[in-house]
Amino acid sequence: MRTCLESFARRCPRRKPLTKRLASVAAQRGLHEQPIRPLRTRWRLSTRLGPQQAGYGVTAIARFSAFLDSAEVNIDQLVQVDRAVLERYLADLHHEWAGRVSHIRHIGQLNAFFDAIRRHGWDDTLPATATFHAEDYPKQPSRLPRALPEHVMAQIEDPANLDRWDNPA
């Protein structure tokens, strides 16, 4: 029996590199998710994502599935995924990544996955409370200014320091 990825690759031969990459990402993650696996495949095939974005999505869903399979959570149906479970997942995600870009990306990809499940009606048992809100995303750190400070520019523009260079340009 062919997997969904293999049948997709046969129908769309130009997308074979994408399906091979997604299959390898899924195999590397050792996916054990029972309630999410068929939905993950539908989501990946229904969205027209590039290979990198699709890989991010598969990684985020695989990580969430591993979290659901863990001994302390042990969830085997989507009806059990509620806001409390998502908050525990956010805490686990924060513990591992603490505001890095991958942290934000995982939350966004998983939220897009939940939205697709609801929009396409793939599984009506997903509770309405299973969603991420704007305040769930970690705050972006403020970036430092790209300009040099004034005292550094004064040192660089000092004629005595400029005379040290051989190149007059």
* Tally of domains within the chain: 1
Residue 169 lies in a domain: no
Q: 122-154, pLDDT tens digit by residue? A: 888 889 899 999 999 888 778 778 888 889 889
Q: Model pTM?
A: 0.60
pLDDT of residue 122: 82
Query: What's the pLDDT at 11?
Result: 47
> Of 20 and 161, which is predicted with more confidence?
161
Phi, psi of 101 (to 5 degrees): -60, -40
Q: How high is the pLDDT of residue 35?
A: 55
Question: Is residue 147 assigned to a domain?
Answer: no
Judged against a pLDDT cut of 90, whether residue 72 lies above it is answered with no
Whole-number Cα distances in Å, 160 to 6, 46, 151, 157:
70, 65, 15, 9
Of 6-10, 23-27, 85-89, where does the model show the most confidence? 85-89
Answer for the pair 89, 138: CB distance below 8 angstroms, yes or no. Answer: no
Per cent of the chain over pLDDT 90 is: 11
Q: Is residue 164 part of a domain?
A: no
User: Is residue 148 in a domain?
Assistant: no
Q: Which band of pLDDT confidence, cut at 50, 70 and 90, is reported for residue 90?
A: very high
* Residue 168 within a domain: no
What's the whole-number mean pLDDT along residues 88-116? Answer: 87
- The whole domain housing 14 covers 4-141
Whether residue 18 lies inside any domain: the answer is yes
Within-domain flag for 152: no
Q: Is residue 74's pLDDT more than 50?
A: yes
- Of all helices (H) and strands (E), which one includes residue 49? none
The answer as to whether 165 is a domain residue is no
Q: What is the 3-state secondary structure (H, E, C) of 30-56?
A: CCCCCCCHHHHHHHHHHCCCCHHHHHH
